[in-house]
Amino acid sequence: MDDTYLLVEAHDCPMSTCAVPAGSPCRTGQGKVAAQYHTARFRLVPQTREELNVPTPSVRRPGATWTELPRPASAATTEPTGHHVRIGYARASTARQSLDSQVDALTQDGVQKIFQEKISTRVKVRPELEKAITLACELRASGVRVTLAVHEHKRLGRGADLVNLAERLRSCDVGLEFLTGELKGSHDPGGVVFSVLAAMSGMEREYIREKTLDGQESARKRGKTIGGAKVSNDDMLSMALHLREQDVSLRDIASRLVITTGKKKGKHPSAATVMRMLREYDEAQAQAASAEEATPSSSEPRAPEKPTAAATETEESAEQDEPITKAQARKIAARFDNTNPQPVEYEGRTVGYVVDAGYGSHNFITADGQFRHVSYRNRGAVTMALKRIAKDSEQGK
């Protein structure tokens, strides 16, 4: 008779639902002798570590009522009695979620050392989880039996991340236990069932994401707003326009405005919010101006007069030399997410416009409508650059 089962029975069963002492076969939840040893138990033996299952021999009478057998003398040297450490890990996805229920469940189950953090599973490196795994591997290397206990498998991760984590625990010979969920109980991290359920949890995340996107699109079609509540209003826009005319930067404008409604009432809007509000206003003004230009001033249409060649040449020359207007500059700036164009004068004529790029930086638009992205912090430096371009242009003529 093969005595491999004696090597397995030299260890206590680490399964919390079994937990039989060394010298006895594994038992079922109904108190019967199990037909095979639990995976977490026979994996403790190097000779059976790679086996898919280890059957209970007939001498142990599988299916009969389980009774505890004498503990073998060799078991004391194989695994010190009572040296079983359970390390807990609790995680929530956002800072607003509570960890109390997870911590309470782990504490009530006898777990004393608990690592906890609030971080999404999409973050590749989770500091507290790394600390828990490192400690578990170090303790296991010293000869102590270690189990990582978690409230449910979703707290560890989903899909490929969960499979990779299980492989790390398997390489360190660290057990894994879940208190609730589909995987409740102790498990072999490298088992087939564990891998299948991990893949299913990854599919669940994609399903949730697709349903969320479908719901948002459905809401948009019905005219509902997706995202945070609007914090700007007409009074805030009027004040922002007034401050912009005084060459106040976007950051300073934001610090002088106050939100009057909603959850952010009493707080200052961000510089990005102010820039978006001003950009939308400039775009609306530019569209209104374009509509007015396209509308004929008289209800009686007049036949256009054919200009002479000399007049055409004069008009084209004037158009080339005439700088763009401030309304045109605003339209150009809006295309590049810039705002607040301010004219720069040189020798009595407008040579371009300085525009706000946000967060204290500036770009400029030349008199002929060319946008230049320079991101200068010093507004004076942008002004000097425009004047230099105008001077070089005159010398080139």
∠ CA 189-195-198, nearest 5°, is 105
Closest CA relative to residue 351, chosen from 380, 377, 322: 322
Q: Which residues pair with 187 in a beta bridge?
A: 176
3-state secondary structure 32-75: EECCEECHHHHCCCHHHCCCCCEECCHHHCCCCECCCCCCCCCH
Strands 371-376 and 113-118: unpaired
Phi-psi region of 303 (alpha: psi -120 to 50; beta: other; left: phi over 0): beta
CB atoms < 10 A from the CB of 60, how many? Answer: 20
Given 93, 98, 195, 393, the catalytic residue: 93
> CB pairs under 8 A, 24+ apart, for 47-50?
47/4, 47/7, 48/4, 48/7, 48/8
Please give the backbone phi and psi of residue 356, each rounded to the nearest 5 degrees, phi first. Answer: -85, 125
| 186 is an active site residue | no
- C-alpha distances out from residue 111 to 19, 153, 157, 173, 386, Å: 16, 17, 21, 19, 69
Strands 54-55 and 113-118: unpaired
3-state secondary structure 225-289: CCCCCCCCCHHHHHHHHHHHHCCCCHHHHHHHCCCCCCCCCCCCCCHHHHHHHHHHHHHHHHHHH
CB-count exposure of residue 66 (10 Å: 0-12, 13-18, 19+)? buried
* Helices and strands of the chain, counted as H and E runs: 13, 11
Q: How far apart are CA 120 and CA 394, in angstroms?
A: 60
Report the catalytic residues.
93
